A and B are shown apart, each in its own frame.
Chain A
Amino acid sequence: MPRDTLASGSNARYIRHVAGGAGTLLGNGFPMDAGTGMVLASNAVHLRNESLRHVICSGGPGAIVANKDGWSDLAEDTPPAAVRTSTLAQIAWGYSTAACFGPFPIGQDNAFLAVGADDLARSVHVSVTCKSDGTHALTIYFAVTDRYQPPTAGAVAFETATTTSSSFVEVRSSGLTVRGQPTPYPTGVAGDPGGGVASVPEYYVWVGWLLAAGGTGAVRGFTGWEIDG
């Protein structure tokens, strides 16, 4: 597991050392001892633990319309009501009911997954600043897709959370599992394996909303970042 540091939890830290090129850590010709090596290794692992990226920073639509699931807005492939029984299909995930973020490149080093696991993708955590009117439920839908398509066409992860708060609150997802379709991009380096083309697994994050009939509410902003586990 890539989590071996000299301290953990709230004591975990980067241990300062002489700057690169200073040449003063050891004298010329002397070997580096294991204690120094452990400090450097601990620092490298600590930097990995702190390299979880901020991925979403966005404003929201503001005031939202109650009881609008978006299905009636669509002229294409609207499934019959009998099909729209799953929680995932309670909204249409179109322009009036959802936001889409991405694509994002997957970081393959989730420290909480077993060594040797096929998929070590970091999870993603999403936070929504929103409010209702104190009475009516505002449901926030979180989904991850492995390509640019609505979650109803296939979601890697999906969950919901609800608030009735009349003041702005933060509604959070848990750690959403991510998985992505490899997308070819040039790396800009002619000598790279694959002829200078990287196959980057990408994923998308979707956030939807549905306010109960008769309510008033707003969605003010979205934030998301990578997490372990």
Chain B
Amino acid sequence: MLSASDTIDTAENARADVHVEDAVLMQAWLSGEADAFDELHARYRERLWRYLRRSVADEDQARELYQDVWMRVIDRREDWQPTGRFVGWLFTIARHRMVDHYRSSARTPIVGSDADVDELLPDTSAAMVAAPLSPLRRAELAQDNSRVQQALSLLPEAQREAVLMHHVAGMTLDEIGQATGHKREAVKSRLRYGVNRLRQILGATS
């Protein structure tokens, strides 16, 4: 049976080809192929959105950050270095933007609220018209989200960052290490402690 560490290593090996493709796309974009950016954007838009959406309190903030991060990617494309992975570079920009956001607004990250489940499901409105959620289900979704947000807010910042990048944005340890500037083993440790702590909190509140 594979251990968790083996699973992570296998997944990271499998992503080597993806990183090569990303770099080829990035190079193509820098060489004038606009479609290459569209492909990169399509690859990472959902992962970036999930990371930002789970990191801030409301959708408007997430939208602002989401747009800003992509604009920085465009404006700073010449700064990209092929020594790193595109996803690491992208989330380095996202992380810096998050830091700026916290500093400028003096807000505590991840302030959860269970008040408005519609806000959490912005793109499911069409489906909701066809099959509207029952009041009970809506309450459950809001409760789930509130529990997760509250639990995340209780984690130390470094652990929360690792958990969000790995479990929400789907990043590997190496990718997180590149984005945060920490060594792989440090990321691994923070992730392990963060997940264990999160399980304890969620288990206690469920």
Task: Tell me, yes or no, whether A binds B.
Answer: no
Q: Chain A interface (Cβ within 8 Å of chain B)?
A: none
Q: Chain B interface (Cβ within 8 Å of chain A)?
A: none
